[in-house]
Amino acid sequence: MKKALVAATFLVLLTALANAQTQSEITQPPNGKNQRAEVSQWIGLVKVTIDYHSPNVHGLGKDRTDHIWGELVKYGFFDEGFGPSRATPWRAGANENTTITFSHDVKVEGKDVKAGTYGLFLKIEKEGPWMWILSRNSSGWGSFQYDPKYDALRAEVPPKDAPYTEFLTYGFDERRPDSAVAYLQWEKKRVAFKIDVPNVNELYVEQMRKDLLSWPGFNYQNWQQAAQFCADNKVNLEEALGWADKAINEPFRNAGQGVEDFSTLSTKAAVLSALGRETEAEATMSKAIRITGTPVLSIHQYGLRLLAAQKNDKAMEVFKLNQQLHPEEKFVTFLGLARGYTALGDKPNAIKNWEIVLQNVPESRKQAIPAFQDQLKKLKGEQ
């Protein structure tokens, strides 16, 4: 009796396995020939990916122009007649869920969205705005299992008329360092939503911090570049000051050697200036311009930055020092003196130096001669 029971049980198991094999899914062309598509866009270090199936207007040999919106894709929430949901938005594509993946936290239409993958749905209306919906349930097939309790975001946006587009297409435009606009375009409509990365610079700093703990940290220039990024963007300044010092000194004992030159000291000064420590910044730059081998043009450009900041007296000191350190240079140093005296309103010395400049213009700067001549004429009262 026991043997008969075991044999019967074994037969049932074999039958079940056979049925499972005959009913298993195999790889076939996508349903309705709506090809799968994927589009990605980086916003700084943030990667955004939309995965969808793309129907076309002339689907299954029929011309559905002017019959997409409100007919093929119904208005509002509707009952598709499948699955548990009786009020579904459009799957914003064909076949399986359209999904959107964010590698980091972002804002969508000004609302916070955590990193992860979401089902992407769209509720369309005959009049008024349409509604994008991001659902934490991203693994459904179409909208049949849609449940509003999983909604992570709802955002209303106005649709716009657009050039005819045969295949439903997602894309990104208005790409900026900290934002991009994702859009769906199909038939004669386009609907979009904006993605912002408000902490884009902090993400770069976080990655630089990791990079500097590995091989890149053995190169002083990487410490300098990281510090300069922070100074330029006014972020992470206290730590950046330490990075600037490491670029100047030795980052790793018996490995990478720091370098104290005009470039690295300028970066440190930029960080100090961003911190509001102007006296220390000026002292650092004073040291930088006196280092042997500092190029004449670097000193000149620093003087121009001081002029732009309306620090005319300090700029004049820099231009005079540049002439003393590089007496052989007859163009750049005198150009600095001419600009400095002009800013100070010292016409006699300004005229004298502009005349020397015009006598020594190099071939590469000949196009600037008319501008130099105009400056001289103004000082002489000829204009």
What's the CA gap between 208 and 307, in Å, rounded?
A: 33
What's the CA gap between 360 and 338, in Å, rounded?
A: 13
Whether 8 is in a domain gets the answer no
Q: Are residues 163 and 90 in the same domain?
A: yes
Give the per-residue pLDDT at 19.
43
Residue 331: DSSP 8-state: S
Give the per-residue pLDDT at 15.
43
Whose structure tokens read 């007859």?
330
Whether 174 is in a domain gets the answer yes
Domain with 252 in it: what CATH number? 1.25.40
Cα torsion 199, 205, 210, 212 to 10°: value is: 170
DSSP 92-128: SSSSSPPEEEESS-EEETTEEE-SEEEEEEEE--SSS
Residue 100's closest CA among 160, 26, 180?
Answer: 180
Structure pTM?
0.82
Q: Are residues 139 and 245 in the same domain?
A: no
Say how many domains are in the chain. Answer: 3
What's the CA gap between 86 and 88, in Å, rounded?
A: 6
Give the per-residue pLDDT at 132.
98
Residue 79's closest CA among 71, 90, 69?
Answer: 90
Residues (pLDDT < 70) of the chain are: 1-25, 32, 252-254, 383
Give the per-residue pLDDT at 8.
44
Whether 13 is in a domain gets the answer no
pLDDT, tens digit, 9 for 90 and up, residues 215-272: 999 999 999 999 999 999 999 999 999 999 999 997 766 677 899 999 999 999 999 9
Its domain, for residue 375, covers 307-383
